[in-house]
Structure 1
Amino acid sequence: MRRLKKSWLRIFAAAAIFSLLFVFVGCSSNSSSSSTKKETTSGKKVEIVFWHRMTGPWKTALDQEISDFNKSQDKYEVKGITQGSIDQLKQKVMAAARSKTLPTITQLPYTSIPDYIKQGMLEEVSFTSDQKSDMYPAILSSTQYQGKSYSVPFADSTQLLFINDQLAKKYNLETPTSWEQVKTIGEQLKKDGIYAMSLDQSYDMPLESMANQAGYPYVTKDGKANLSKPEVIAAAQMILDLKKDGYLKTAAEDQYGSVAMLNNKAVYGIGSSANIGEFKNRAKSGQTFSTAAIPSYKGKSGDVISANNLVLFKSASADQKKGAKEFFNFMLKPKQAAYWAEKSGYVPMTKSAMKYKTYQDYLAKNPSYKAVETSIENAYASNQFAGYDNFRTKLLSAVDSTLTANASADKAFTSLQTETQQILQQNK
């Protein structure tokens, strides 16, 4: 068994270090820069600098959204600037904070946001009651921290069960709705060297969904760790037992569970809904893939979302803050949110966008996306807390120890419980 890619652990370790560096940044709500203090003068539009991580077709779609907003009014001009990967973006935000050259708004993982809030960098945002009721509960939850909203939904995805249609038909399989059924299917397929389930290099996301299904999120809203709960350890051990028995495969250096499915070595796999396009683009001749909700655990359904939300820096001018909030409201409109979902592959940010005619037409033409609606309705958001990036580094190390050092789930996650409690205590 090859080790999880060390680069992933280095990335999250670096993220944890960056969060500690916030203490030395010295960013206050009064910091200023040429990019964030550009006021309306001589009838010129106020410039809203927007850093993001979108490239390729995602950037093309976002550029269109920005262009539509700029044309919709005459007060503000949003300028979108891609910064590469999400980790490069976070590093550049840190550097800009130190030099007081922050943009007006940026994209950030919602779980990282509490560290920025802790240092007083982010402006609160507000939603109308109609906007709140229009958002799916998990998406709305991702925008909130300690009872206040600090971000706007943007690039959200759910976990889905991907299905290799040809293999499922060949073996006359019914889509598993529980993890117990995954084991039964695995027993049937093992003789032919085919896995029932394929996961990415780390199983932390499927495990987090199972923990939530069992009623024990990794960390509760009031900051209590659940990593050593019997239900969480049993879920991790179930994954490890399925792997040991040859029914489940975790990716090696290729990182992604989709590889085994594309090579017809696995019938099912769990991955982000944003990967639907990848399956379509990389499918071999005669291959098709469909989707369904991920299996239930302890009789409960639901999956944990991934989300990169939009945040507004306090260092922006009063006019820029007004413009940013207008841009946020524009992106939440059903037409715009539906367009972004169609072009990006992310989940529609609102129920009205999901029901919008163009998106429903899109689903009719792309039936593999239909499971997205069921998944987001039953989804969970990870509970946010300061120090989350440090916690995630420890989580990936715990998972790695069970896969490469044969540590038991009990040993790995009991140790992780202690480490997580220390992180929570240090960040109170």
Structure 2
Amino acid sequence: MAIPDSKKVLIAGASIAGPTLAFWLAKYGFTVTVVERSKTLRLGGQNIDVNGPAKQIAQKMRIEAAIRAANTGEVGLQLIGQNEQAIASFPKEGSISGTQELEILRGDLVNILYEATKQNVEYRFGDSITNLEQHPNEVTVTFSSGKKETFQLVVAADGVRSSTRRLVFGDEPKFEYLGLYTAYLTIPRIKTDTNWWRWYTATDRRIVMLRPDNQGTMRASVAFLESDEAYEKLSLAEQKSVLKSKLVGAGWEADRISNALDDSVDVYFDKIGQIKAPSWSSGRMAMIGDAAYCPTPLTGKGTTLAMVGAYLLAGELSQHERHQDAFVAYEQRMRPYVEEVQKLPPGVPWLVYPRTRFGVSVLNTVAGIIASKPVQKLFSLFTSTKTEDESKAEGIVLPDYVYTHAAESS
């Protein structure tokens, strides 16, 4: 089916979901513009992984080699005990491990996606959508720059607090807070650092982590439980002050991270929650990624949902003459997978954030048992081997959509 040249699509957000969608829409012959509020690509962020169906999409996009070349070098997950020594190790190649085959910094993946799309997609940095007027055949978009333009479709891919989503859906869907705050920052690497992802559970419901990157530094994170949404609209100085107070007396590398906060320029501090939208489209507007179905970092599937949703939405738009039918088909394929991913085990996150030393000791003891060779061997017997179609193993089907002639030559 030929796609008219006039099929103009505007995507808000140049992180992971937006450029992935732009890649496939351009392949299918759409004219694509990506608008990004930041003046440049936002290349900060922590370690993420590209696994399962996301890996398959990366292969289809021919960017798997670039992702592998940017690997963080992380060799696995180690839990650090109260004596500040490793008490449980889960190697990358083991049957249980938090480290996946394709570990990469978020910013590196953003840059790879940009490089793969910039020749066929128009990027507008330092601008954003301020108003949307939907009409029978188009959407009139007003930008913060003052410019007005019409598009056939608009897609929000601008994150969990999507301003584009708010223009269409108002205050719905609501952010479902999970009682957890987290902070990320980059700190200098020292001689005692390793290529393990090191996880330390402190008392008073706090967790401190260090992960290696491919830039000669370390990615630190601090997470803590907070029953109230107590830290809204803080300045950077106030955020750092809160984090320092939470690190007092935590032990292990807490003082080191606290001291590094003074000079850090990339602190990210936010509450953790999910977005559960009753619908991902309205008229000529749709949503993908965290804007539509943020699963939280607790699931480890944010990147996967972003890439899968983008792939499916682009594919369905290429197969249907009516965008309404494409939106329905996209949601029918994607929603069961999203709902499964968003299910958190009972007691999470509270269960892994003990308050007392005894609680931390119990948690570490259980981790040590799970990491033992007999238990690891037992797990390997029940762990299914990877299939050629990793997406089916995860409960999502990735159709091979048919390219147009124009797409094949692009």
TM-score after normalising by structure 1? 0.27
Higher-helix-fraction structure:
1
- Greater relative contact order (Cα < 8 A, sep 6+): 1
